[in-house]
Amino acid sequence: MAHKIAILGASGYTGAELVRLLSTHPSYDIVALSADRKAGQSMGQVFPHLRHVDLPVLVKIDEIDFSGVDLVFCALPHATTQNVIKALPSHLKVVDLSADFRLRDPADYEKWYGQPHAAVEMQREAVYGLTEFYRDDIRAARLVACTGCNAATGQFALRPLISAGLIDLDDIIIDLKTGVSGAGRSPKENLLHAELSEGTHAYGVGGVHRHLGEFDQEFSKLAGRKVEVQFTPHLLPANRGILATVYVKGDPQAIHAELSRAYADEPFLVVLPFGEHPSTRHVRGGNFVHLGVAGDRRSGRAIVIAALDNLTKGSSGQAIQNANLMLGEEETAGLMLAPVFP
Amino acid sequence: MAHKIAILGASGYTGAELVRLLSTHPSYDIVALSADRKAGQSMGQVFPHLRHVDLPVLVKIDEIDFSGVDLVFCALPHATTQNVIKALPSHLKVVDLSADFRLRDPADYEKWYGQPHAAVEMQREAVYGLTEFYRDDIRAARLVACTGCNAATGQFALRPLISAGLIDLDDIIIDLKTGVSGAGRSPKENLLHAELSEGTHAYGVGGVHRHLGEFDQEFSKLAGRKVEVQFTPHLLPANRGILATVYVKGDPQAIHAELSRAYADEPFLVVLPFGEHPSTRHVRGGNFVHLGVAGDRRSGRAIVIAALDNLTKGSSGQAIQNANLMLGEEETAGLMLAPVFP
Amino acid sequence: MAHKIAILGASGYTGAELVRLLSTHPSYDIVALSADRKAGQSMGQVFPHLRHVDLPVLVKIDEIDFSGVDLVFCALPHATTQNVIKALPSHLKVVDLSADFRLRDPADYEKWYGQPHAAVEMQREAVYGLTEFYRDDIRAARLVACTGCNAATGQFALRPLISAGLIDLDDIIIDLKTGVSGAGRSPKENLLHAELSEGTHAYGVGGVHRHLGEFDQEFSKLAGRKVEVQFTPHLLPANRGILATVYVKGDPQAIHAELSRAYADEPFLVVLPFGEHPSTRHVRGGNFVHLGVAGDRRSGRAIVIAALDNLTKGSSGQAIQNANLMLGEEETAGLMLAPVFP
Amino acid sequence: MAHKIAILGASGYTGAELVRLLSTHPSYDIVALSADRKAGQSMGQVFPHLRHVDLPVLVKIDEIDFSGVDLVFCALPHATTQNVIKALPSHLKVVDLSADFRLRDPADYEKWYGQPHAAVEMQREAVYGLTEFYRDDIRAARLVACTGCNAATGQFALRPLISAGLIDLDDIIIDLKTGVSGAGRSPKENLLHAELSEGTHAYGVGGVHRHLGEFDQEFSKLAGRKVEVQFTPHLLPANRGILATVYVKGDPQAIHAELSRAYADEPFLVVLPFGEHPSTRHVRGGNFVHLGVAGDRRSGRAIVIAALDNLTKGSSGQAIQNANLMLGEEETAGLMLAPVFP
């Protein structure tokens, strides 16, 4: 029997991506969709690519009867999210796509997000949603906090290397290129087509991007010591896709071998042959991560390049992968859709 | 039990799109893939977005053992195709994506394609593959000729109107905008990124585009008289998508009503409310057609706008829809994937 | 000696384009720049591509001392513009880029713009700024109203044909494709990169786009009778460029000959050889118009295709061309910059 | 009196860019244009954006009478170039845009380009064309070798820092994003629109890109010791623009101060305020370089970001800047065109 699903914040891009993926998922029924400002509209009006899907009309959150719902995907902005999730009935499983429950330490949350956390007790209970590394915890969790899309990309490149002690922890640089859909659907001058197409620029330069909070938390935990990476994101004139070019000090062949070993049985992780490199075009719309490794002419230096789709594996695909585990479904259910190229 | 499928010409974009769609199809197994110049490579090398799919290696056509194959998708260039299909074992069902078997009259083929047809007897047997209008014939066919992608778009807008006698047959203009993937993967100067991005231009202007052969054949047959439309395609700086803006003389409300009636039960055809208009972005990667109708300030004039994805509904999705009918599967099997937006 | 120039509304795209073109103009000095919301900022902060130009800081309009100014370019929104221009000192020459003074008849303004005109007396005095057709009036004018960018494109294709009586006036269709910069720099959801890239759609369908007011006024005046064209604009996923595909009934060769004749001595108009067609890529950033003509397989039908850059020849280049005439400079001064391709 | 100019290899993108820039240059006349495969065509046929310019028809090189020519721009492929330039009359000044004369040491040429140099004596005579750093040599030179476009970008970020001893020479990483026009106009599958739009990937990964030869030569010479940077280029889905994100160890404020000082009087170099960062969109079509500096949360680390247009400052604009010096013109003559945005 199908699980009953509600999506809060369905009028944003991650909300729409959840609906896209769930529309061919074999075992979930979407029974409620919320969108504050667009309540009363149909999903097909807000996102015409979903016109063919039979869906409930958009409502405000407090209009939803959660009694028959099994699991909620929460795709709301950070800060708003805490209060919404705190108020949800306790029988509900929750997969949160916001930043609100990613950081374990309330002080870290306040540092990176500029305000105290309003649901500290839940913050501690939440499980970090990078599926491949937290499977058992996710299966048992009531609240899973999906990762930042940039944070996921960097971690897929680096976690096995840190765990295996293969790289210098003091000299990690993540130069990241991301598509514009990660910035959401808010009308802002700097997100206009005329401003973003046909070029690139860096943003959040100088160690200030919020996903550093996730990198710090996860890498330090893995390493058993403080690890602070250097991280510079750039906006790419494309809608989807993240490419992380990661510069490390270590042996390239050993690094390639370790990534190959670590991800050998992972259905969504593809380690390319040594010296081949991924393209964001080849993961677009799919839940897959492509990874490549190369050396340098100077020994002891390596580059790891990781590519994923920020809306799929970086957000909504990851969220469904977690929901599958939480509800006892096949982890890959509904997620084997091949990327769309060209 | 799964049907055994071979794809000839798998290294082109329509070949790759077939594999993408078949990779999550519930009842087909791909048992052979051909690619002349890239024989010996894996599909994942030629199309890295398919790396996660377990597929046979690319071979030359004459290396394929067709004895266990049920159906062949043929995604080869026109002219080549005739000779290949003529030589295939007769037990095979064939879905052809080329232009070689679309035109019933050999003289028409010679006129539009500049050479005599080499398999005239098969040309007569072939069924025109516009599924929604040839279902029964397709179910019974051994050889189905999928339509041109532009030809499909224009026909979805116009066929019901011609059948119902709602428009002036002497004044039909199809102004069409098409993504660049329709031009294929051949290395040509005029298909380079630097030549095609950031702008648009018309091509095949003045009544010379080959898809006119299909329009003439189909519209004249429907109308019971000669119908010659005016058709101007433009290249759009986007990879996928066709938008046909069709100018007709007739009553806009009657036209909207007729399209709504004709497509009411069609799973892949979406007629938008009167005055709303489709975007190619909203059908990208899906097998759906979106249709809109508007009037003009002068009565008796209407615009019908149709959008579809040239690689999916315009080619490979259409091909699978036809294969589903030919093999007794659900017509929509494997094809309900939602479009990818943004 | 250099003429002193002020630009009102310098923080929009047409304002920036004026500054770009004037930065290498031999005989103008920009002495004042206004921007209401961005007053106090430098032009280089608002438009970093102009950082190398030495410019006055942005101020509010009422902070400008117009006593030493010779000519004002007004790049403000319509409706606002009327009141601003009405209040300017009478010694100033004014080139207006808004829609406020394009329509001669106040009733037409109210019909297309939804409100009464607030400066009716000036509306009558204003000269329509399509330079090639109103040169003498523009030379003598105090207030010139530059045309709509779509309206300019259509008129370059059609005016000589109407004047020469070469086409059927009741069956003119303008199918137009326009880049997104024409929609301006306002933060709106439907102008986001993620909403506009990678596809196309029609807007203002059904005879409701405001530039029809200009077409009606100008074509009817030329023809000496009411002329109502059909006009459908589409948004192109590119920043600059308009391509108008114009369907007419008339003799293609005669049409080509007449356009060639009419524009033979025009420095900015390029009529391509019969059967060749323009691309918006080839006029990007330049003040040129490219025109092509083709026939159809049915005699008596022709297509005229016109391409220009909406920000240059469609707006700010046209504005400077008019200013050159008004100030007694060479008409082409500062405007011979070649388009930027690729 | 105007200098007489010939351009060899005018049918490529750098050739077209030379013509674009020269078309409004006050003191040069183009008297000959060569294009081997397109000889006999007009420049306007090969590059319609130049149709309005009055130019000689394209010819083969050996059809050119060089007796009245003052300076030749050579925009031919590497390897071909050596033999062509060797055979030119000795009275000609030559600005070469190929890679053939950039490297001083013939062994380096052979290492990076895979074949012995055929004009070793000229290779020694050639002056490296990074104008801002070789002005006096260029003024006196007969043969100037313009730099690689990537090599130029990295050097603008790094040369003053190496000269001033401000950064660790053993830990320099250049992560570079480049537009596709740098790959030229050759018809190759991997340069098609459908292959390159909507995503990004790294290429030449692992210390193998040929522009490393230039970095090694120039940085080692400046430092007085061997310097080997790490350099990874990525293809950006845009036609023009290079963004180099350079990771160094040093004091960010000192670095910003030194770049500001070094470039204070340079007309084409713009150092942004500390913490602001360039975008390739803002240098598109112009001869300017924008530079930004930021620190990191860890002290002693800095990022320098440099942006330029690969076809202008990275190639053809640089070439004209050098020609201006060689012919005694103002260095900035014809090159102050503002970038085209949006």
Residue C281 lies in a domain: yes
Residue D130 lies in a domain: no
Which parts of chain D register pLDDT below 70? Answer: 1
pLDDT confidence of residue D124 = 85
- Looking at the structure, tell me whether residues A125 and A185 fall in a common domain: no
Considering only CB atoms, which chain A residues are within 8 Å of B283? Answer: 49
Give the minimum alpha-carbon distance from A47 to chain B in angstroms, rounded to a whole number: 8
Which residues of A are marked as active site? 149
3-state secondary structure of A35: coil
- Looking at the structure, tell me whether residues D288 and D162 fall in a common domain: yes
Give bridge partners of residue A244 from the DSSP assignment.
A176, A306
Considering only CB atoms, which chain B residues are within 8 Å of D48? Answer: none
What pLDDT digit, counting tens, does each position of D115-137 carry? 999 999 998 899 999 999 999 99
* Cβ-count burial C174-211 (b if 16+ within 10 Å, e if not): bbbbbbbbbbebeeeeebbbbbbbbbbbbebbbbebbb
Q: Which of C279, C285, C290 sits opposite D340 (nearest CB)?
A: C285
Residue D254 lies in a domain: yes
CA D122 – CA D103 distance, rounded (Å): 11
Tell whether the model's pLDDT for residue C306 goes beyond 80: yes
Strand pairing report for A93-96 and A143-145: parallel
Considering only CB atoms, which chain D residues are within 8 Å of B284? Answer: none
**Best CA proximity match to B130, nearest among B112, B148, B113:** B148
Considering only CB atoms, which chain C residues are within 8 Å of D19? Answer: 338
**Best CA proximity match to D35, nearest among D24, D50, D21:** D50
Give bridge partners of residue D263 from the DSSP assignment.
none
- Tokens 């770049």 belong to D259
Contact A205 D303 (CB under 8 A): yes
Say which CATH number the domain at C242 has. 3.30.360.10
Tell whether the model's pLDDT for residue A241 goes beyond 90: yes
- Looking at the structure, tell me whether residues C93 and C222 fall in a common domain: no
Chain-wide mean pLDDT for chain A? 97
pLDDT confidence of residue D53 = 98
Residue D324 lies in a domain: no
- Looking at the structure, tell me whether residues C189 and C50 fall in a common domain: no
Residue A12 lies in a domain: yes
Percent of chain C with pLDDT over 70: 100
Torsion sign (Cα): B131, B137, B142, B145? negative
How many other C-beta atoms can be found within 10 angstroms of the C-beta atom of residue C58?
A: 24
Q: Give the mean pLDDT of A254-267.
A: 98
pLDDT confidence of residue B124 = 85
pLDDT confidence of residue A124 = 85
pLDDT confidence of residue C25 = 98
Q: Which of D171, D275, D281 sits opposite A206 (nearest CB)?
A: D275
Domain boundary among D62, D92, D125: D125
- Looking at the structure, tell me whether residues A138 and A161 fall in a common domain: no
Contact B282 A53 (CB under 8 A): no
Residue D337 lies in a domain: no
Which A residues, 226 through 245, put their C-beta within 8 Å of a C-beta on chain C?
237-239
Domain boundary among B86, B110, B125: B125
- Looking at the structure, tell me whether residues A114 and A181 fall in a common domain: no
- Looking at the structure, tell me whether residues C74 and C170 fall in a common domain: no
Comparing alpha-carbon positions, the chain B residue that sits nearest to A12 is B342
Cis peptide, bond prior to residue A342, ω within 30 of zero = yes
Q: Which of D52, D198, D279 sits opposite C48 (nearest CB)?
A: D279
- Looking at the structure, tell me whether residues C203 and C247 fall in a common domain: yes
Considering only CB atoms, which chain A residues are within 8 Å of B268? Answer: 52
- Looking at the structure, tell me whether residues C102 and C206 fall in a common domain: no
What pLDDT digit, counting tens, does each position of B205-255 carry? 999 999 999 999 999 999 999 999 999 999 999 999 999 999 999 999 999
Q: pLDDT band at residue A302, thresholds of 50, 70 and 90? A: very high
- Looking at the structure, tell me whether residues C117 and C203 fall in a common domain: no
Residue D232 lies in a domain: yes
Q: Give the mean pLDDT of C153-181.
A: 98
- Looking at the structure, tell me whether residues B107 and B237 fall in a common domain: no
Whether the CB-CB separation of B270 and A52 falls below 8 Å is answered with yes
pLDDT confidence of residue B279 = 98
Say which CATH number the domain at D52 has. 3.40.50.720
Q: Tell me the count of C-D CB pairs closer than 8 A.
A: 99
Tell whether the model's pLDDT for residue C32 goes beyond 90: yes
Tell whether the model's pLDDT for residue C122 goes beyond 80: yes
- Looking at the structure, tell me whether residues D99 and D161 fall in a common domain: no
pLDDT confidence of residue A65 = 97
Domain range holding C244? Answer: 150-310
Tell whether the model's pLDDT for residue C1 goes beyond 80: no
pLDDT confidence of residue C282 = 98
Q: Give the mean pLDDT of C191-212.
A: 96
What pLDDT digit, counting tens, does each position of B52-100 carry? 999 999 999 999 999 999 999 999 999 999 999 999 999 999 999 999 9
Q: Give the mean pLDDT of A194-220.
A: 96
Which B residues, 168 through 187, put their C-beta within 8 Å of a C-beta on chain A?
181
Percent of chain D with pLDDT over 90: 99
**Mean pLDDT, consecutive 10-residue segments, chain B of 342 residues?**
95 98 98 97 98 98 97 96 96 97 95 94 93 98 98 98 98 98 95 97 94 97 98 97 98 98 98 97 98 97 98 98 98 98 98
Domain count, chain A: 2
Residue A342 lies in a domain: no
Contact C191 A188 (CB under 8 A): no
Task: Give strand ranges (E) for B9-70.
Answer: 28-34, 58-59
